[in-house]
Amino acid sequence: MAELHLQGLRRTYANGVTAVDGIDLTVGDGEFMVLVGPSGCGKSTTLRMIAGLEEMSAGRLLIGGVDVTDVAPAERGVAMVFQSYALYPHMTVAENMGFALRIAGRPKREIDDAVRRAAASLQLEPLLDRKPRALSGGQRQRVAIGRAIVREPKVFLFDEPLSNLDASLRTQMRLEMARLHERLGATIVYVTHDQVEAMTLGDRIAVFNAGRVEQVGAPPAVYNRPVNRFVAGFLGSPQMSFLPATAARDAQGLALQVPGAGRLALPADYGTMPLADVQALGVRPEHWHMVAGDAGEGLRANVERVEWLGDVTLVHCRLAGRDAANGGDTVSVKTTRPGDVALSAGTPVRLRAQARDVMLFDAQGRALAA
């Protein structure tokens, strides 16, 4: 395996559109790096440039310390697993897995040994004589992964490999991907728009937006300490609630005022940021504390809709004084309290949050240090 360095990677097309705008990223030897972001943000284009399938407009690419910017795709030491699997329908599983080695002129015994080792690691041994049409979606995906494994690449590249599978099978395949990484100790770059895949698989994640990397870090760090509103809003489902807010200190501590809805009181020692910089606050659904009634501390709101999901309940609330004419702000509250299922539309509630769970943002959407 090898370390991967992206230095100033850029991709601009003939029509002037820049899909990737100067990416700098290092993937450690044996690291599982996930590139995550919305559709069209440049993550798949970045992966294809690493593979050599997309031309770089600028920048350098180093694998294991060697500059491979101008090296042909087959000579870079990478193997890519596509979303579409791309299996040859007329070949058996074994023939599909060994195809690249046959093209490279490897001896038959070497090919057979490599295929059987990969098949054993992926639990494909009983399927080696089958054709792709006789396989399930998950089995086809494992064959595509096995085809990459037999090449013994320095870097594995995965382009949304689970997106064609149903929800239950994706969960199973996520576990298999994690186990595979543990067994191989492989350097992996994995592209997905699914934040659950990103958070559960990645040693680190790189959050892409409009061709740039907004933040890189371990999943808990990025989730709990996002650098801006984009990252904070992209990670988490339902997404974080963002509310316009101003800040001022009084005798009781720091008060965050949300126009029309009330105030959130925070401790006097909360944060050192200039109060004039505060333009918005953010709280994740699982961190809101909701109290029925219109009295007491917190933001005034009314229940708009209740969604019971079995293990949790989502209560969507519209803030008082924040109708469609002046922002239409709604807040989603994720709760495990059975009594909240009984709340009905129109019920007045108060919304509160612990100081550690409140994030503040400036006018440019940058997170302010607490």
4-234 and 241-368 share one CATH topology? no
The pair of structure tokens assigned to 310 is 């079995």
The pair of structure tokens assigned to 298 is 């917190």
**360-363 long-range contacts, CB within 8 A, separation 24+:** 360/245, 360/247, 360/256, 360/271, 360/273, 360/278, 360/280, 360/281, 360/282, 361/228, 361/229, 361/232, 361/242, 361/278, 361/279, 361/280, 361/281, 361/282, 362/277, 362/278, 362/279, 363/277, 363/279
323 pLDDT band, cuts 50/70/90, is low
pTM here is 0.89
Q: How many CB atoms lie within 10 A of CB 166?
A: 10
pLDDT at position 274: 85
What's the pLDDT tens digit per position in 253-263?
788 999 989 99
What's the pLDDT tens digit per position in 277-310?
999 999 999 999 999 888 778 999 999 999 988 8
- CATH class of the 4-234 domain in this structure: alpha beta
176 pLDDT band, cuts 50/70/90, is confident
Distance CA 185, CA 149 (A): 12
Distance CA 38, CA 54 (A): 20
Distance CA 79, CA 155 (A): 7
Distance CA 210, CA 20 (A): 8
Do the Cβ atoms of 157 and 80 come closer than 8 Å? yes
Residues 33, 156, 154, CA angle at the centre, nearest 5°? Answer: 110
Alpha carbon distances (Å) from 3 to 6, 13, 189: 10, 28, 11
pLDDT mean across residues, the chain? 90
pLDDT at position 24: 97
Instruction: List Cβ neighbours of 103 (8 Å cut-off, separation of 6 or more).
Output: none
Residue 223 has pLDDT above 70, yes or no: yes
Alpha carbon distances (Å) from 299 to 228, 320, 359: 23, 8, 16
Instruction: List Cβ neighbours of 176 (8 Å cut-off, separation of 6 or more).
Output: 122, 142
pLDDT at position 327: 47
Average pLDDT rounded to a whole number, residues 95-112: 90
- Please give the span between the terminal C-alpha atoms of the chain, in angstroms, as a whole number: 40
What's the pLDDT tens digit per position in 337-346?
877 777 888 8
Domain boundaries, the chain: 4-234, 241-368
pLDDT at position 302: 93
Homologous superfamily of domain range 241-368: Nucleic acid-binding proteins (2.40.50.140)
Look at 24-28, 186-190, 269-273 and tell me which has the smallest mean pLDDT: 269-273
Task: Look up residue 265 and give its amino acid.
Answer: A
Instruction: List Cβ neighbours of 306 (8 Å cut-off, separation of 6 or more).
Output: 313, 314, 315, 316, 340, 341, 343, 344, 345
Q: Name the DSSP letter for residue 84.
A: T
- In 138-240, the DSSP E strands lie at 155-159, 187-192, 204-209, 212-217
What's the pLDDT tens digit per position in 73-89?
989 999 998 888 788 99
Distance CA 328, CA 254 (A): 26
The pair of structure tokens assigned to 136 is 């399930």
Do the Cβ atoms of 337 and 315 come closer than 8 Å? no
pLDDT at position 370: 65
328 pLDDT band, cuts 50/70/90, is low
More confidently predicted of 289 and 323: 289
